[in-house]
Amino acid sequence: MALYSEKVMDHFMNPRNVGIIENADGIGEVGNAKCGDIMKMYLKIDENIITDVKFETFGCASAIASSSMATELIKGKRVEDAMELTNKAVAEALDGLPDYKMHCSVLAEEAIQAALEDYRRKQEQS
């Protein structure tokens, strides 16, 4: 059996939504010291809808694929719906990840949560 599903390989080889959003409404950065993966998510939010989302990930195939899939899953969604995204949903959308790579989907969830939290803080200040 292959280590990675076709979807993981596709999102690794052709990641969606890579890059930076200038003047992002929310930015979240998380890392896993043990494996060295670092993820940064950028959100553009208009009237409570995530209109754009980009990421920069330094990490393995699973980390990049998880970031890519996570951005696809929240793009166009309401902030409340994006808050409910779980690492399990990310892994399932990728047709599964090896057990020892599940932490990559957790990082994607945490990066999105951090970006949404950053957005919420900025809203409270304005």
Concerning whether 35 is annotated as a catalytic residue, the answer is: yes
| Per annotation, catalytic residue among 35, 38, 102, 106 | 35
Distance CA 48, CA 2 (A): 40
Q: Domains, the chain, ranges and CATH?
A: 6-125 (3.90.1010.10)
pLDDT above 80 for 75 = yes
| Per annotation, catalytic residue among 8, 70, 74, 104 | 104
Structure tokens at 67: 């970031």
Q: What is the pTM of this model?
A: 0.94
Task: Give residue-wise pLDDT tens across range 32-68.
Answer: 877 789 999 999 999 999 999 999 999 999 999 999 9
